[in-house]
Amino acid sequence: DAGVIQSPRHEVTEMGQEVTLRCKPISGHNSLFWYRQTMMRGLELLIYFNNNVPIDDSGMPEDRFSAKMPNASFSTLKIQPSEPRDSAVYFCASSLSTTYEQYFGPGTRLTVT
């Protein structure tokens, strides 16, 4: 079975550019999470979707960040404009809302220069 799929795996961009990260959750999972991991702050939840609806976006750092889930098999996290402090590894995870056991994707390593 395919796990959570993320693309791209690595992204290098210049400050001010728009960045879009993509995620395909495990088929049948109805909950999707975006996390950010940095050395300083560890793993932080950015946003949580349930049945394609954003339920908790309290972790989204600022208005430059936005996330969408247009259907059950696809989600995007967009940063516009990007800044060097956004450099981190961004993970997508999915789960069944009945169990909440989360399965993580391989992550996207973002570097903003």
Partner 1 sequence: KQEVTQIPAALSVPEGENLVLNCSFTDSAIYNLQWFRQDPGKGLTSLLLIQSSQREQTSGRLNASLDKSSGRSTLYIAASQPGDSATYLCAPANDYKLSFGAGTTVTVRA
Q: Which of 27, 43, 51, 113 binds partner 1 (CB under 8 A)?
A: 43
* The 3-state secondary structure of 1-51, one letter per residue: CCCCEEECCEEEECCCCCEEEEEECCCCCCEEEEEEEECCCEEEEEEEEEC
CA separation for the pair 65, 58 (Å, rounded): 11
Residue 89: phi and psi, rounded to 5, are -105, 130
Q: Under the criterion CB under 8 A, does residue 100 sit at the interface with partner 1?
A: yes
Cβ closest to partner 1, residue 32 vs residue 112: 32
Cβ closest to partner 1, residue 6 vs residue 82: 6
CB of 87 to partner 1, least distance (A): 15
Q: Which of 12, 16, 55, 80 binds partner 1 (CB under 8 A)?
A: 55
Q: Under the criterion CB under 8 A, does residue 101 sit at the interface with partner 1?
A: yes
User: What amino acid is encoded at 63 in this protein?
Assistant: D
Closest alpha carbon to 92 in 48, 40, 39, 30:
48
- Give the footprint of partner 1 on this chain (CB under 8 A): 31, 33, 42-43, 45, 48, 50, 55-56, 91, 93, 95, 97, 99-107, 109
